């Protein structure tokens, strides 16, 4: 389809009218003009697969269609990019909430561990400091990388890695303390040569 001489504002005004042939043509032209930029922006975010990018692109233009009357002037590109960022943020939040609910469902029932006894993971996590809980939540429940964890906590990547290691060590210590003496596995004896 050949691009018309209509401005983005004119296309969005046409899109704001009851949806018909003119609205479809306006949406198609806006998509042709700006979808590449939207897709490119979303594709630059780490951890975003191609299917999620395409879903967000489609949701961006559907949202633009629904809110076309709110657009006021100039190029639609910055407005569409802002909508796309909000779509991606909402998608990530939704995915994080889903992962958190799934993890919580697993934590709520006692699980049998290698030592054979039930472990209340929720209680173990509750015994950690708030910083440790938040860090482990971001890192392992929401499955964020150290760069994203660092950004969320406002610390350096190196600090996020260090805090993560310390939080895991504290969780291991709590786990070991929860085990009864008969469940404790004795440490392996050191390898020593006996001189004869």
At 89-120, the pLDDT tens digits run 888 888 888 888 777 766 654 444 444 455 67
Residue 181 has pLDDT above 70, yes or no: no
Residue 177 has pLDDT above 80, yes or no: no
**Does the residue 146 lie in any domain?**
yes
Q: How many structural domains compose the chain?
A: 2
* 9, 28, 48, 79, 116 from 70: Cα distances, Å: 10, 19, 29, 10, 61
Residue 43 to residue 80: CA distance in whole angstroms:
15
- Asked which of 61, 93, 125 is the last residue of a domain, the reply is 93
**Does the residue 188 lie in any domain?**
no
- Asked which of 35, 64, 93 is the last residue of a domain, the reply is 93
Is residue 69 domain-shared with residue 137, that is, in the same domain? no
Instruction: Quote the domain boundaries for residue 17.
Output: 8-93
DSSP per position, 174-195: HHHHHS-GGGPPPPPPP--PPP
What integer pLDDT is reported at residue 113 of this predicted model?
A: 45
Q: Which residues of 139-149 are buried (b: 16+ CB within 10 A; e: fewer)?
A: bebbebebebb
Query: What is the average pLDDT across 53-57?
Result: 92
**Does the residue 149 lie in any domain?**
yes
**Does the residue 102 lie in any domain?**
no
Is residue 61 domain-shared with residue 31, that is, in the same domain? yes
- Phi/psi region, residue 99 (left: phi>0; alpha: psi -120 to 50; beta: rest), is alpha
3-class SS of residue 158:
helix
Is residue 55 domain-shared with residue 130, that is, in the same domain? no
Q: Which CATH number goes with the domain that contains 158?
A: 1.10.10.10
Mean predicted lDDT score pLDDT of the chain: 79
Mean pLDDT check: name the lowest of 71-75, 119-123, 190-194: 190-194
What integer pLDDT is reported at residue 108 of this predicted model?
A: 59
What integer pLDDT is reported at residue 179 of this predicted model?
A: 65
Q: Which CATH number goes with the domain that contains 25?
A: 1.10.1740.10
Q: Mark out the alpha helices in the chain (DSSP H runs).
A: 8-16, 21-43, 50-66, 77-108, 121-126, 130-136, 146-153, 157-178
What integer pLDDT is reported at residue 1 of this predicted model?
A: 44
3-class SS of residue 144:
coil
Residue 176 to residue 174: CA distance in whole angstroms:
5
Is residue 126 domain-shared with residue 66, that is, in the same domain? no
At 127-155, the pLDDT tens digits run 888 888 888 877 887 777 888 888 777 88
What integer pLDDT is reported at residue 186 of this predicted model?
A: 54
What integer pLDDT is reported at residue 183 of this predicted model?
A: 52
Give whichever of 22-31, 40-49, 105-114, 183-192 has the largest mean pLDDT.
Answer: 22-31
**Does the residue 153 lie in any domain?**
yes
- Asked which of 93, 124, 139 is the last residue of a domain, the reply is 93
**58 vs 8, which has greater pLDDT?**
58
């Amino acid at each position: 389809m050949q691009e018309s001489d209509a401005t983005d504002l004119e296309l969005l005004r046409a899109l704001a009218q009851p949806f018909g042939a003119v609205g479809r043509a306006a949406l198609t032209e806006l998509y042709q003009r700006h979808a590449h930029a939207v897709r490119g922006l979303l594709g630059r975010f780490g951890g975003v697969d191609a299917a999620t990018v395409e879903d967000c692109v489609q949701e961006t233009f559907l949202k633009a269609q629904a809110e076309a009357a709110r657009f006021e002037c100039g190029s639609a590109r910055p407005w569409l990019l802002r909508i796309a960022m909000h779509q991606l943020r909402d998608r990530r939040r939704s995915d994080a909430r889903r992962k958190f609910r799934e993890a919580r469902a697993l934590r709520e029932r006692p699980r049998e561990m290698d030592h054979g006894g039930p472990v209340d993971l929720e209680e173990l996590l509750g015994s950690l400091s708030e910083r440790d809980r938040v860090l482990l939540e971001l890192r392992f429940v929401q499955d964020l990388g150290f760069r994203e964890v660092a950004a969320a906590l406002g610390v350096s990547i190196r600090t996020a890695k260090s805090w993560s290691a310390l939080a895991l060590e504290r969780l291991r210590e709590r786990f070991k303390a929860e085990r009864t003496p008969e469940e404790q596995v004795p440490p392996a004896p050191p390898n020593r040569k006996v001189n004869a």
